[in-house]
Amino acid sequence: MKKLGIAAALVAAMCLAGATSASAQKLYWTASGQFGPFNIQGLIPTYPDARDIKIPINMWVLDHPKGLVVYDTGNNVAISDGNCQSHWSEGLCGFLQPGQTRADVIDKQLEKLGYKTSDVKVLITSHSHLDHMGNIEMFPDAIHVVQKIELYQAWWPEKFQRGGAHVMGDYDGARDFNYLTLTGDYDLFGDGSVIILSTPGHTLGHQSVKVKLPQTGTVILTQDAIWMEENLEGYVAGLNYSVLDYTNSVQRLKMMRDIEDVPLWFGHSIAQYSKMGEKWYK
Ligand SMILES: [Zn+2]
């Protein structure tokens, strides 16, 4: 009996150890500066209350036992410190008013946390817009994880989506990088700790990420599948490849939130960022 008891304890300990290793170690929430101020109705045209807002440009650094992961690389380094028009169109600079300093850029953010860009094993890009894919060329040796269809969107956006949020100069030097191209959801490390979720609509192949952390628990990083709280109140984002797909993706994430009891951390919520940004989550 005693032997059996020890064996059972050993099995239990092994199970527990297994459970611990099947989570990421820690997740850092940072931003490639902010956009604004501008009227919220410029982003969400149906929103009834006009007011000026600023929005953060979220990026994530995930320290995982199997390797360092970055999720989105913010605005291109060239637009830092008031040099917007060196890389973006005048209209875009005028509307977005990027307040990105050189220190905000992903390479400096990694440095601040004790890493180098060359330490990054996997770079996940949510979608091909200028404030999310801006610096992938800083990571020539990483494995780049994107939805296959999003690469088509990046290289040849629909005519109604051109001239704005896609900046070819952000990725025209990255054509021969190593891409893991996905067609749907994907369990990144094969252990359930980092699940890539297909959430199209904002763009053709937008993807969100669900991360399991040892102390914080599971969280969903929506990025632009849901910009901010106001989009949960039925006010559709103004910039969509497909409103139908967008609405389905918002619904999917809301259902996961309610069924799995996990928080949604939005792509551009100043309310969330000012409370929760610039911190490690373990
Ligand atoms: Zn976007």
Q: Give me ligand 1 centre to Cα 194, in Å.
A: 21
DSSP state of 139: -
Q: Give me ligand 1 centre to Cα 174, in Å.
A: 19
Give the whole-angstrom CA distance, residue 72 versus residue 129. Answer: 10
* Domain ranges (residues) in the chain: 24-281
- Which listed CATH number (3.40.50.300, 3.60.15.10, 3.10.50.40, 2.70.70.10) goes with 24-281? 3.60.15.10
Q: Give me ligand 1 centre to Cα 16, in Å.
A: 39
Q: Give me ligand 1 centre to Cα 123, in Å.
A: 17
Q: Give me ligand 1 centre to Cα 202, in Å.
A: 7
pLDDT (0 to 100) of residue 24: 76
pLDDT (0 to 100) of residue 8: 55
Q: Give me ligand 1 centre to Cα 206, in Å.
A: 9
| DSSP line for 183-245 | SS-EETTSSSSEEEEE--SSSTT-EEEEEEETTTEEEEEEETTS-SGGGGGT---S--S-HHH
- Contact 136/177 with Cβ under 8 angstroms? yes
Q: Give me ligand 1 centre to Cα 153, in Å.
A: 12
Q: Give me ligand 1 centre to Cα 192, in Å.
A: 26
Q: How far from 137 is each of 77, 99, 101, 219, CA to CA, in Å?
A: 10, 21, 19, 28
pLDDT (0 to 100) of residue 1: 45
Give the whole-angstrom CA distance, residue 118 versus residue 46. Answer: 43
pLDDT tens, per residue, the chain with 282 residues = 455 555 555 444 444 444 445 787 999 999 999 999 999 999 999 999 999 999 999 999 999 999 999 999 999 999 999 999 999 999 899 999 999 999 999 999 999 999 999 999 999 999 999 999 999 999 999 999 999 999 999 999 888 877 679 999 999 999 999 999 999 999 999 999 999 999 999 999 999 999 999 999 999 999 999 999 999 988 999 889 999 999 999 999 999 999 999 999 999 999 999 999 999 999
CA 32 and chain centroid, separation: 12
pLDDT (0 to 100) of residue 17: 45
Q: Give me ligand 1 centre to Cα 281, in Å.
A: 24
> Strands 52-64 and 67-71, how do they pair?
antiparallel
| DSSP line for 95-132 | HH-----GGGSHHHHHHHTT--GGGEEEEE-S-SSTTT
Q: Give me ligand 1 centre to Cα 223, in Å.
A: 8
Could you give the count of Cα atoms lying within 13 Å of 216 in the half-sphere of its Cβ?
23
Structure tokens at 30: 């940072």
